[in-house]
């Protein structure tokens, strides 16, 4: 009985915490591949990345092992997927096109966060029972996960999307130096996250989460 209870608790944690993360991550990568195709580069599509199938985007450690362990044992949550390949040679205006391809990922997560708020309002409109309460909890988590992915990836450092977004507005020489020192920047970013930097990301996440939650409640008032 105890084992069955523990297993149900683990499955509930995965349903509420991990499944929303997995879908948000796949939609993020799918959006990169879709916009790349629209801008003239089919590299991501040819690599099988124009799909929501999680196995097409998965990194074994970053998509499955680490996030699942984090969810089950309530560790600080962290994860990633394989980057979508893009060939700038196929783009008509590489600097502008790469900007939109990079921005597509964070914008897709903001879109999903807004959709979550609309669905949350629908749940609230039906009142509350055990099923709707579980659905509301999942939607709230889905909303927050998408905002975390969006604002984290907007940090203006390579290899994050924000680095490519910022690249459009920075002079060539500075962009070149950022690429040359990408390994060092990655280490700085890692230490930034490990020693409290993630709390700074949560500032806009919490603000926009509260705004969307407020909007959800206003839709049914």
pTM of the prediction?
0.90
DSSP class per residue in 43-103: HHHHTT-SS--HHHHB-IIIIIIHHHHHHHHTPPP---BPPPP--GGG-SSHHHHHHHHHH
pLDDT for 16? 84
Across 196-208, average pLDDT: 87
Task: Give the rounded percent of residues in the chain with a pLDDT score beyond 70.
Answer: 95
Across 51-58, average pLDDT: 95
pLDDT for 198? 75
Of 3-7, 28-32, 119-123, 131-135, the least confident: 3-7
Cis ω on the peptide bond leading into residue 148 (within 30° of 0)? no
Spatial distance between the Cα atoms of 65 and 59, rounded to a whole number of angstroms: 9
Which tops the pLDDT comparison, 90 or 15?
Answer: 90
Q: Which residue among 29, 45, 130, 180 is the active-site one?
A: 29
pLDDT for 1? 46
Q: Which of 212, 85, 102 is nearest to 155 (CA)?
A: 102
Nearby residues of 120 by Cβ (< 8 Å), 6 or more positions away: 136, 139, 140, 143, 213, 216
Across 7-19, average pLDDT: 85
Phi/psi for 184 (5° steps) reads -65, -40
φ/ψ bin of 87: left (φ > 0), alpha (ψ from -120 to 50), beta (otherwise): beta
φ/ψ bin of 5: left (φ > 0), alpha (ψ from -120 to 50), beta (otherwise): alpha
Asked about 45 being catalytic, the answer comes back as no
Contact of 113 with 212, CB cutoff 8 Å: yes
Q: Which of 108, 26, 34, 29 is nearest to 64 (CA)?
A: 26
* pLDDT tier at 172, thresholds 50, 70, 90: confident
pLDDT for 57? 96
Of 41-45, 99-103, 199-203, the least confident: 199-203
pLDDT for 5? 67
* pLDDT tier at 70, thresholds 50, 70, 90: confident
Per the prediction, the chain carries an average pLDDT of: 88
List pLDDT tens digits, range 139-165: 999 999 999 999 999 988 888 899 899
């Amino acid at each position: 009985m105890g084992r069955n209870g523990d297993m149900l608790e683990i499955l509930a944690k995965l349903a509420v915490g991990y499944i929303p993360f997995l879908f948000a991550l796949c939609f993020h990568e799918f959006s990169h591949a879709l916009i790349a195709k629209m801008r003239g580069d089919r590299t991501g599509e040819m690599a099988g990345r124009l799909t929501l199938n999680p196995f097409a985007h998965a990194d074994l450690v970053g998509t499955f092992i680490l996030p699942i362990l984090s969810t089950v044992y309530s560790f600080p949550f962290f994860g990633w997927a394989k980057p979508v390949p893009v060939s700038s040679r196929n783009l008509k205006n590489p600097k502008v096109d790469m900007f939109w391809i990079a921005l597509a990922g964070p914008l897709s997560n903001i879109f999903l966060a807004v959709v979550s708020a609309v669905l949350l309002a629908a749940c609230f409109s039906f009142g509350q029972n055990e099923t709707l309460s579980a659905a509301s909890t999942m939607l709230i988590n889905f909303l927050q996960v998408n905002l975390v992915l969006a604002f984290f990836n907007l940090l203006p450092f390579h290899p994050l999307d924000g680095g490519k977004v910022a690249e459009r507005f920075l002079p060539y020489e500075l962009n070149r130096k950022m690429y040359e020192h990408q390994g060092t920047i990655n280490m700085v970013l890692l230490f930034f996250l490990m020693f409290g930097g993630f709390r700074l990301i949560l500032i806009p996440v919490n603000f926009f989460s509260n705004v969307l939650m407020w909007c959800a409640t206003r839709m049914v008032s």
